[in-house]
Chains A and B, each alone.
Chain A
Amino acid sequence: MIAHRVHRDLARAISAVENGVTDYRGALARFTALGSASNGTTARKRADVIGITGPPGAGKSTLVDRLIEGVRAAGETVAVIAVDPSSPFTHGAVLGDRVRMQRHAGDPGVFIRSMASRSAGGGLAPATRDAVRLADEAGFDVVIVETVGVGQVELEIVAVADVIVVVTVPALGDGVQAIKAGLTEIADIFVVNMADRPGANASATDLKHMVREGKRDIPVLQTIAQDGTGVPELLAALNKKRDGDDSNAVRAVRFEIVRRARDEAVRGALAALDTPDAAAVLDRLRDHELTRNDAIDALQHIFGGTAHAH
């Protein structure tokens, strides 16, 4: 069981990293109730991180509610990090994922935290990764991360989750198309939710055909999250994946390294654009002395130069 004190400290630690006040290590040092679970002499098993992603309105939150129920029934504690989008205009957000998870509100073995995406693009919030690590340190056995409703390109969950469930619904013809294009490579389990609706079997068959073309074993399941149908099968599939090898860790690390390298490159390019050499090129562009392509070539040359200088 997780003490009330831990809930409070975990919540405040997440706020601290979310607001950029301190980093993950700083938060751990400051909120001492965290980490107490791993301070013993025996090494504690790290939390298993389950990612739930899929298009908006597919029933992700309701499914998470069912998973909480199943995980608790198995005697494990669970933290949920649920991300909803921030408005790009006002930066405000309405975070409504808790509405579907109210049954667990009084259970100290369950911690639910909503996060606004704060305009990060990958389906998660900038601090989600740290929030997951903090929940792990707080001693939760399972951490469930629910992404914002996603399309094809929001794949950030890869860097965070050990097992990824991609949820879709029938009659979302285009939704299945989107999943084919984007989320296919990251799914460990496909779920066709709202399986009592027309077209569920067709969607599932469609996904099964696609899965058969790939190399990995990806179960395609049907659920009705609203009444719990199919959830035991989903829990069984999740447990099998959790007990399996850690090949996703390799994928996660690759993804994170590439992402960091890309961020670094962007910072480098922005810095290079700030140099007098680059300003001179841009001045000549403005004065019609260079074509756009000439300017790009010239700047590329400058970037190359600064890269070598490092």
Chain B
Amino acid sequence: MPIKVLVAKPGLDGHDRGAKIVARALRDAGMEVVYTGLHQTPEMIVNAAIQEDVDVVGVSILSGAHMTIFPKIMTMLAEREVDDIAVVGGGVIQEADIPKLKEIGVREIFNAEASTQDLIDGIERIVAQTGRDRSRREAAGTAGAGQAASR
């Protein structure tokens, strides 16, 4: 199954060229990429991640607001009892903040030096680790499905 990724662009900064390049690179790596456009609130990002049932949410932040936006996203995902969607970040994020973000559950930060290939490899690794191969995850719970289908 293709890996499904949400590329989200929160906050007030109006630059999404990077996010669009990322979206294309992930597509060319065979992923299904949902792109949401600019000026997303954490609530919009979380709702989109849930409705699209993505494997990974990639949040691009250039404005320096990462220490407010990531905690909000992680809290809202927890409130909605979502524990199987990985969150990663990219953009301009200070080294010193990376451990703090990982502490609240952000899986990986891809800084400006990261290549698109680093990003592809990172996402594939995270999905493999999470075991959130969507087919396998659902297969574990479909014991009753065959029964229902044969009714």
Question: Which residues of A lie under 8 Å from residue B24 when comparing CB positions?
Answer: 94
Name B38-64 residues within 8 Å CB distance of A: 39-41, 43-44, 47-48, 50-53
What residue of chain B has the Cβ atom nearest to residue A11's Cβ?
B53
Q: Are A98 and B37 in contact (CB under 8 A)?
A: yes
Name A4-39 residues within 8 Å CB distance of B: 4, 7-8, 11-12, 14-16, 19-23, 25-30
Extra 16 A-B pairs, beta carbons < 8 Å, given A22-B145, A91-B30, A94-B35 = A4-B80, A7-B47, A7-B51, A21-B134, A22-B142, A28-B148, A30-B144, A93-B2, A99-B37, A102-B36, A102-B37, A106-B41, A106-B44, A113-B51, A113-B52, A116-B32
What residue of chain A has the Cβ atom nearest to residue B1's Cβ?
A19
A85 to B135, CA, bound (A): 21
A108 to chain B, nearest CB (A): 9
Question: Which residues of B lie under 8 Å from residue A92 when comparing CB positions?
Answer: 2, 26-33
A8 to B47, CA, bound (A): 9
- Among A26, A87, A106, the residue within 8 A (CB) of B149 is A26
Q: Are B80 and A102 in contact (CB under 8 A)?
A: no
Question: Which residues of A lie under 8 Å from residue B114 when comparing CB positions?
Answer: none
Residues of B at the A interface (CB closer than 8 Å) are 1-2, 23-24, 26-37, 39-41, 43-44, 47-48, 50-53, 80-82, 134-135, 138-139, 141-142, 144-149, 151
What residue of chain B has the Cβ atom nearest to residue A115's Cβ?
B32
Residue A41 at the B interface, CB < 8 A?
Answer: no
Question: Which residues of A lie under 8 Å from residue B43 when comparing CB positions?
Answer: 105-106
B138 to chain A, nearest CB (A): 4
- Among B28, B41, B138, the residue within 8 A (CB) of A22 is B138
A-B contact count (CB 8 A): 125
A303 to B103, CA, bound (A): 65
Residue A140 at the B interface, CB < 8 A?
Answer: no
Residue A272 at the B interface, CB < 8 A?
Answer: no
What residue of chain A has the Cβ atom nearest to residue B148's Cβ?
A29
B79 to chain A, nearest CB (A): 9
Residue A112 at the B interface, CB < 8 A?
Answer: yes
Q: Are A7 and B138 in contact (CB under 8 A)?
A: no
Q: Are A23 and B145 in contact (CB under 8 A)?
A: yes
Question: Which residues of A lie under 8 Å from residue B146 when comparing CB positions?
Answer: 26
B50 to chain A, nearest CB (A): 5
Question: Which residues of A lie under 8 Å from residue B2 when comparing CB positions?
Answer: 91-93, 116
**Could you give 10 example pairs across A and B, Cβ below 8 Å?**
A11-B53, A22-B138, A25-B149, A26-B149, A92-B26, A92-B29, A92-B33, A105-B47, A112-B51, A113-B52
Question: Which residues of B lie under 8 Å from residue A12 when comparing CB positions?
Answer: 53, 138
A275 to chain B, nearest CB (A): 30
Q: Are B145 and A30 in contact (CB under 8 A)?
A: yes
A275 to B26, CA, bound (A): 42
Contact with B along A220-257 (1 / 0, CB 8 A): 00000000000000000000000000000000000000
Which 10 residue pairs of A and B lie closest in terms of their CB atoms, listed nearest first? A26-B145, A92-B27, A29-B148, A99-B37, A105-B44, A11-B53, A21-B138, A22-B145, A16-B138, A15-B53
Residue A42 at the B interface, CB < 8 A?
Answer: no
What residue of chain A has the Cβ atom nearest to residue B47's Cβ?
A105
Question: Which residues of B lie under 8 Å from residue A7 when comparing CB positions?
Answer: 47, 50-51
Question: Which residues of B lie under 8 Å from residue A16 when comparing CB positions?
Answer: 134, 138, 142
A91 to B53, CA, bound (A): 18
A5 to chain B, nearest CB (A): 9
Q: Are A95 and B34 in contact (CB under 8 A)?
A: yes
Known contacts A94-B23, A102-B44, A105-B44; is-contact A26 B28 (Cβ 8 Å): no
Question: Which residues of B lie under 8 Å from residue A8 when comparing CB positions?
Answer: 50, 80-82
Q: Are B26 and A111 in contact (CB under 8 A)?
A: no
Q: Are A99 and B36 in contact (CB under 8 A)?
A: yes
Q: Are B27 and A26 in contact (CB under 8 A)?
A: no
Q: Are B47 and A19 in contact (CB under 8 A)?
A: no
- Among A19, A25, A113, the residue within 8 A (CB) of B138 is A19
A92 to B40, CA, bound (A): 24
Question: Which residues of B lie under 8 Å from residue A86 when comparing CB positions?
Answer: 32
A30 to B144, CA, bound (A): 7
What residue of chain A has the Cβ atom nearest to residue B135's Cβ?
A19
